[in-house]
Amino acid sequence: MYTYLSNSCYIDSLFMTIFKNGSNIWLNKILKNPIYIDDYTTLACGNNIKNKEQTYEYAQRLRNSLIIDYDMITTDTKILCSNIRNIIYECLTYLVCGNIWNLLPIVIIKKFYGII
């Protein structure tokens, strides 16, 4: 059972559902396969641009947080919701207006990925 910490239980639950769905494809791609600094380029992050090294470090922080969650869920440890949401917010600052987290309309996500 998840215990509240930094308001990221929804995101934690989503990732754990992906990782525990019976297929190892996402588990391997996100948590297990090695990642290298040369896999990254610059990243627009809030009002700044992260260079390749900073982007790699940012990805590592996200990954490490997800690994902690995954380890807790697979060892029957009391699961604290992690700080994933705050890590994501560092770059996607538009997700928060005041103290309220905004939901992105699915149409924006589809347009970003060229689905529509």
The tens place of each residue's pLDDT in the chain, 116 residues long, gives 445 555 556 666 777 777 777 788 888 888 889 999 999 999 988 889 999 999 999 999 989 988 887 887 777 777 666 677 778 888 877 777 777 766 666 666 666 666 65
Global model pTM greater than 0.85: no
Q: Can you point out the beta strands (E) in the chain?
A: 2-3, 43-45, 48-50, 79-80, 96-97, 100-101
Report the SS3 class of residue 96: strand
Question: Where do the domains of the chain lie?
Answer: 2-112
* Maximum pairwise Cα distance, the chain: 42
pLDDT, residue 1, reads 45
Are 37 and 55 in contact by the 8 Å Cβ rule? The answer is: no
pLDDT, residue 88, reads 83
Residues in the chain: 116
Give the pairing of strands 100-101 and 96-97.
antiparallel
Are 16 and 9 in contact by the 8 Å Cβ rule? The answer is: no
